[in-house]
Amino acid sequence: MSRAALVLSVAWLLGGCVSNQPKEMSQPDRAAEINLRLAADYLAKGNLMAAKEKIDKALEQNSRNADAHAVAALLYDRLNDPAKAESSFQRALSLDAKNPNIMNNYAAVLCKNGRYDRGEKYALEAAGNPLYKTPELAYMNAGICQRQAGNLPRAEEHYRRALNIKPRLPGALFEMAEVELSQASYLPARAFLERYLEVNKTSPATLWLGVRIERGLGNTTGANNYAARLKNEYPTAVETKELLESERTLK
Distance CA 34, CA 17 (A): 12
pLDDT digits (tens, 9 = 90+) for 165-187: 999 999 999 999 999 999 999 99
What domains are there in the chain, each with its CATH number? 11-15+28-171 (1.25.40.10)
In which band, very low, low, confident or very high, does the pLDDT at 250 lie, cut at 50, 70 and 90? confident
Distance CA 202, CA 206 (A): 6
pLDDT digits (tens, 9 = 90+) for 188-245: 999 999 999 999 999 999 999 999 999 999 999 999 999 999 999 999 999 999 999 9
pLDDT digits (tens, 9 = 90+) for 97-140: 999 999 999 999 999 999 999 999 999 999 999 999 999 999 99
Q: What is the mean pLDDT of residues 85-95?
A: 96
Distance CA 191, CA 123 (A): 27
Q: What is the mean pLDDT of residues 138-155?
A: 94
pLDDT digits (tens, 9 = 90+) for 131-142: 999 999 999 999
DSSP state of 153: H
pLDDT digits (tens, 9 = 90+) for 15-51: 543 444 545 667 878 899 999 999 999 998 999 999 9
In which band, very low, low, confident or very high, does the pLDDT at 11 lie, cut at 50, 70 and 90? low
Distance CA 175, CA 161 (A): 13
Q: Is the dihedral of CA 75, 76, 80, 82 positive or negative?
A: negative
Closest CA to 158 of 212, 111, 221: 111
